Structure formats: structure tokens, C-alpha cells
Amino acid sequence: MGQIFRLRGADGRSVSVEDIPDVANAMDQSFEDRAWAKIQQSDAMYGDALPWSKTHEKLRFRPGEVTAWIGPNGEGKSLLLGYLASHWALQQTRVLMCSLEMDVGIQLKRISRQLLCTESPKRIQFEMLLVRLLFLNFLDYVGHIAPFKMLEKVSEYGQKFSHIFIDNLTLIVPPGRTSDESAAVFVRGLMQIARDTGCHVHLVGHIRKPEEGRRLNRYDWRGTGACPDMVHNVLIVQANEKKRRLAEKGDYSKAEEADVFIDVDKQRNGEFHGRMHFWWRPSVLRLVEYGTDQPEAFDPCDTGRE
């Protein structure tokens, strides 16, 4: 007696057989080609890298994926992502910043400080920097936006940009009685768009207030556990609060410890999972790889440098 398969979509509704591609055997040539391409990519650590060399063999941002950046308020997520976006733009990678909580002028002011390593650049330096940031683009909108409207924008621009940053989820799905379901539907939409367009989508999320000193994980993301389960990568940005508090009291016994941790709590298509250590340089709003490092200023007049 044969088996009958009832096909259902992600929303639980029945799916017409006409909507499902034909079944093929594993020996199908297209399957072989796709698998071989992935095998080669795995060896090459494909995807865009963070600015710090010690991360290059641990973490990459691959086309068609969604990464969630989560952590407590005020611990540098937006600063980090602004620097990351400008770093990729200087490599002629097309990037779109969708900051719903910060005016474009403020974003550019912070990026200018990070790259030029000064709070008071000369006008010619700033103008030349903007020329070099030709591949960095902004959604000029601040405030709440409906989930369907945000998905429309991401879908519209997904084929034009390699990376889209959305900062942050609470301005799209505010906390409330139905926020868990709405957030899950929104993230599911981002996953579909990333898969269809090949764009890498970065989504900033907030966490529940953590217990002091506790190491966070993906399920601290405020709301339903469906969101961290769906996305490809979950990165947690967490400050070394114990070091900071001791320093405020004049106790520098933890001076050699890192200031900020980035935990790769989930990386679906990568092997590394663990904690990466960084040191904070507040004068230029940047992280550095090691405790003795100082940030290097970008020279926008040096056209031979990316």
C-alpha cells in the first residue's frame, strides 16, 4: 500500500503539488554541482569578513543569510555595525544601513570619527571620506515602521546590496501581547528575502535584562525562541561589566582583560562557535584586536588603499 504525503507550508496550510519542485535523485547533476561548489567554498572560508584578522578563519558573512546581533542596550552594537558597514563599503561592497533610531547625519558623524580617528576632521577630509564611501547607502527614515513595509523595502533593495543592516527590531515589532508571533513572521520574511536575493541581512535585537555577570546566549533575545532558531547566525555583543565597574572605583586589577566580547552563539554554515575578545577605544568609538593595539586612521586621500 502506497504512502500519501500531505504537503504543508511553514504556516501550516496545505500546499499545492504544483508549487513544489519535482523530486530528483541524489545523483542529479545539478545536485552534484551545487554540493561540489559548497565543498570548495567551505575550504576557502567564503563570505565577507570582520575587520579584525583574528576572526577571519572563525566567522564569515555569506550571501543569502540572516545574522542577528543581540545584546544589552548601550554596549556598542550600533557603533560596531556602523564601523563594519563602512569597512565593507571601503572594499567596494554595496551596503545599505537602515537605522530606525538614528538620523543619517549622526550616523555619518560617528563613522567619520571611527575612520578618521578624530572628533574634529577638516572639511576636505570629510568630503574625501564621503567620496570613498560611495558604496555606503542609508535609508533616510527614523521612527517606527510596520513589518510589512520594512519587508517591502528589504525585498526592493535586496538585489542591489550585498548587506542590509536593520537597527532595530523593536522599532518594527514593538513589545506587546502579539509581538512574539509578529517578530517570528517578520524574521521568516527576512529569511525568504535573503534566500531569494542573495543579500546578507543583519538584524539588531535586544535582550531581556541579564543577571549580573551571566554569559548570554541566543535565547536571551527578547521574545519568542522561534527567531534565534530561524536565523542563520546569532552574535552576542556583551561588555565586560565587572572590569568596567572596578575601573570606575579605581581598581585596575582586571586591566588586561577584554572590554567587549562577541560570542558566536550560532553559525549554521560555519564551524566556529565561541567567544572572541576585543578592547575598546572610546576616543574613536572602535574595537581593537588586542590590548596593546591602537586604531589606525584611514586616509581618504590615499587612493591606493582600500
Could you tell me how far CA 78 lies from the centroid of its own chain? 10
pLDDT at 93: 97
Distance of alpha carbon 84 from alpha carbon 264, whole angstroms: 16
Q: Which of the two residues, 185 and 214, has the higher pLDDT score?
A: 185
pLDDT band at residue 305 under the 50/70/90 scheme: low
* Confidence band of 25 (pLDDT split at 50, 70, 90): low
Give per-residue pLDDT as tens, 54-93.
999 999 999 999 999 999 888 899 999 999 999 999 999 9
Q: Does 34 or 262 have the greater pLDDT score?
A: 262
- 177 pLDDT band, cuts 50/70/90, is confident
Q: How much is the pLDDT for 29?
A: 73
Residue with cell 571620506: 129
Asked whether the bond before 73 is cis by omega within 30 degrees of 0, the reply is no
The whole-number average pLDDT for the span 134-162 is: 96
Second-level CATH architecture of 63-235? 3-Layer(aba) Sandwich (3.40)
Asked if residues 156 and 164 have their Cβ atoms less than 8 Å apart, the reply is no
Domain ranges of the chain: 63-235
- Among 9-18, 20-29, 38-47, 55-64, the range of highest mean pLDDT: 55-64
pLDDT at 21: 60
Task: Evaluate if residue 1 carries a pLDDT over 60.
Answer: no
Q: Would you state the cell numbers that stand for residue 197, as one nine-digit string? A: 536575493
